[in-house]
Amino acid sequence: MASAAPSPDPDTAARQRWMRVLSLAPVDRLEAAWRDVSDPPVPRTARPPEIGTAMVTGRAGGTGARFNLGEMTLTRCAVAIDGADGATRVGHGAVAGRASRHAELAALFDALLQDPARRDELTKAVIEPLAAFLEERRCDESRQAAASRVDFFTMVRGE
């Protein structure tokens, strides 16, 4: 609930990046990526998918004091995966909507990506392509919006 972001250590920043991509990615792409995971682990459910809400807050005037805008649906899930190094890693998924499978897939990838033995390969095979897809989609939408930008002709009037 803290409003100030804790300044992240490099590991946290990397994890935030992949968790963002996993939340924003379409679920069918995550499902396909999960099918392609080589040597798939056997996950244990640490916290089964749970549907609830997040209270969305805004700021008065965009920059002022906080207020509650309204809630949104949110699904969260946590899984535990034992790595080849014997360590157990807990993956978290928290995604907008009523989306149990999406939350589960996000949690599975989050757990795998915490494993140094898998991180580079999965980042290259899953996260980077998804990030590129999201960026391309954002850019397409923005270019469409830009087509309706008004170009005012400025009439130069004589002095």
Partner 1 sequence: MYVAVKGGEAAIDAAHAQLAARRRGDPDLAALTVAQIRDQMALAVARIMAEGSLYDPDLAALALKQAWGDVAEAIFLVRAYRTTLPRLAVTRPLDTAAMAVQRRVSATFKDLPGGQVLGPTFDYTHRLIDFALAAEHGEDASNPPPSAEEPLDAAMPRIADILDTDGLIEPETDADDPDPDAPVPDLTRAPLTFPAGRALRLQALARGDEGFLLSLAYSSQRGHGTTHPFAGEIRMGTVEVEIIPEDLGFPVTIGVVTVTECQMVNQFQGSRTAPPQFTRGYGLVFGFAERKAMAMALVDRALRAPDLGEAVVAPVQDEEFVLSHLDVVEASGFVQHLKLPHYVDFQAELDAVRRMRRAASGEGASS
Partner 2 sequence: MDTRHATNAAPAPAPGLADPVFDAQRLFRAALEALSRPGTIQALPVDLTPPAPLTPWAAALALTLLDLETPVWLDPALEAQAVRDWLRFHAGCPLVATPDEAAFALVGDASALDDLSAFPIGAAEYPDQGATLIVQVAGLRADAGWTLSGPGIKGRTRLAVAGLPAAFPAIWAENAALHPQGVDIFLCAPHALAALPRSVTVRED
Is residue 140 within 8 A of residue 132, CB to CB? The reply is no
Check binding of 8 to partner 1 (CB under 8 A). yes
Stretch that binds partner 1, among 32-40, 79-87, 93-101, 123-131 (CB under 8 A): 93-101
Task: Indicate which single residue of 35, 39, 64, 153 sits in contact with partner 1 (rule: CB under 8 A).
Answer: 64
Q: What is the CA radius of gyration of the chain?
A: 20
CA 18 to chain centre: 6
Closest C-alpha to 17, from 97, 122, 140, 141: 122
Among positions 4, 42, 155, 156, the unique one binding partner 1 when judged by CB under 8 A = 4
Distance CA 116, CA 125 (A): 15
Contact criterion met (CB below 8 Å) for 48 and 124: no
- Partner whose binding site includes residue 130, from partner 1, partner 2, none (CB under 5 to 8 Å by kind): none
Classify each residue of 139-149 as buried b or exposed e, where b means 16 or more C-beta atoms within 10 Å of its C-beta. eeeeeeeeeee
Binding segment (CB under 8 A) for partner 1, from list 37-45, 81-89, 113-121, 137-145 = 137-145
Mask for 75-114, x = binds partner 2 (CB under 8 A): ---x-x--x---xxxx-----------------------x
Task: Catalog residues that contact partner 2 under the rule CB under 8 A.
Answer: 1, 6, 8-9, 11-12, 14-16, 46-48, 50, 78, 80, 83, 87-90, 114
